[in-house]
Amino acid sequence: MADIDLGLKGRTAVITGAGGGLGRAHALLFAQHGANVVVNDLGGSQDGSGKGSEMADKVVEEIKAAGGDAVANYDSVSTAEGANGIIKTAVDTFGTVDILVNNAGILRDRSFVKMTDEDWDLIFDVHVKGSYYCTKAAWPIMREQAYGRVIMTASASGIYGNFGQTNYSTAKMGVIGFGQTLALEGEKYNIKTNIIAPVAASRMTESLMPPNVLEKLKPEYVSPLVVYLCSENIDVSGELYEVGAGAVSRLETLRSKGCTLNPDEGVTVEQMAENWSLINDMTDAKILRSIAESTQASLTHCM
Ligand SMILES: NC(=O)c1ccc[n+]([C@@H]2O[C@H](COP(=O)([O-])OP(=O)(O)OC[C@H]3O[C@@H](n4cnc5c(N)ncnc54)[C@H](O)[C@@H]3O)[C@@H](O)[C@H]2O)c1
């Protein structure tokens, strides 16, 4: 058992894609902190093909061997039926769902010119629709009990773009917007949603980096943030964190001071050219925290 009390004892945590990599590390740490864990994993390969029960079963065995409580589920997150099955497993076994970590993921990397509709759709099915279906199934329960903690798993690929990942980066940026809006809608019901952009050694990244680097990127270095964000007294919602190899940081949206032209006098392409360095100058950039703050600058001088 862990030293710190995060109010996780007896809580039920559903971790999707928990048969390996990051999900497995999250599942083990939640169990160590006293949560009942639903270990979901389709058990397929990295590109989304195939399925099996072995991966999830193994993690459940590990949790039980360490004295924790867990149950396996082998449904796919990418259909409503599968997601409902995952949440049903939590309710049938442990009575409810308090925590949902949307973690399941696959890759279909190709340069945009070679990308097929199937590569595009499959990535959306797992990352965007998978997060949607699972959250949709858990949300009414969390609302009803006025308690919920939800994690979205984004990626630096979504935040910054990454060659060969137009499908994945679009999907990962999508779950950031999803999580931020859920944070607003869940506020009244004590449902807190936060988003992580992790870096870790897993079958997804093992061919991309040398062994000495991978050794420093243990999934176990990401899970403490996830577990902490799902603790009872967590005081943030709608935030985005980068996490990996022991480095943990929060990200914000910055907007340059830019220029404010007078629409009554016309807004022209020539003015764009004239003001180009000002528009791009980040010297006095401001952090924006909400859509209201964002639209304010455009609207105030129209009032
Ligand atoms: N490893 C990294 O550096 C990194 C970086 C950014 C984001 N991520 C994200 O973190 C998450 C976990 O990735 P990982 O690195 O641990 O990779 P991983 O391949 O080890 O884990 C993903 C797990 O999801 C499962 N899965 C895939 N499709 C599923 C489906 N339809 N239903 C249920 N389970 C399914 C897989 O079987 C696998 O066990 C993913 O969302 C990934 O995109 C990882």
Q: Whose CA is nearest to atom 43 of ligand 1?
A: 105
Same fold for the pair 12-251 and 253-300 = no
From the candidate CATH numbers 3.30.2410, 1.10.3470, 3.40.50, 1.10.287, the one assigned to the domain spanning 253-300: 1.10.287
Distance CA 75, CA 28 (A): 20
From the candidate CATH numbers 3.20.20.70, 3.40.50.720, 3.90.550.10, 1.10.10.200, the one assigned to the domain spanning 12-251: 3.40.50.720
- Mutation probe of ligand 1 site: the residue of 14, 15, 22, 58 with most atoms within 8 A of C-beta: 22
Q: Are strands 99-102 and 12-15 parallel, antiparallel or unpaired?
A: parallel
- The number of the ligand 1 atom at minimal distance from the alpha carbon of 77 is 32
Contact between 128 and 145 (Cβ < 8 Å): no
- The number of the ligand 1 atom at minimal distance from the alpha carbon of 153 is 41
Q: Residues 74, 132, 133, 168: which is the catalytic one?
A: 168
7 lines ligand 1 (CB under 6 A): no
Task: For the chain, 303 residues long, give each residue's pLDDT as a single digit of tens.
Answer: 567 899 999 999 999 999 999 999 999 999 999 999 999 999 999 888 999 999 999 999 999 999 999 999 999 999 999 999 999 999 999 999 999 999 999 999 999 999 999 999 999 999 999 999 999 999 999 999 999 999 999 999 999 999 999 999 999 999 999 999 999 999 999 999 999 999 999 998 888 889 999 999 999 999 999 999 999 999 999 999 999 999 999 999 999 999 999 888 999 999 999 999 999 999 999 999 999 999 986 776 666
Task: Quote the pTM value.
Answer: 0.97
pLDDT of the residue at 179: 98
168 is catalytic: yes
Contact between 56 and 40 (Cβ < 8 Å): yes
Distance CA 231, CA 233 (A): 6
Question: Tokens 């603790």 label which residue?
Answer: 231
Q: What is the DSSP letter of 189?
A: G
Domain ranges within the chain, ordered by starting residue? 12-251, 253-300
pLDDT of the residue at 303: 65
pLDDT of the residue at 302: 67
In 34-132, beta strands by DSSP E:
36-40, 69-73, 99-102
- The number of the ligand 1 atom at minimal distance from the alpha carbon of 18 is 39
pLDDT of the residue at 94: 98
**Centroid of ligand 1 to alpha carbon of 208 (angstroms):** 15
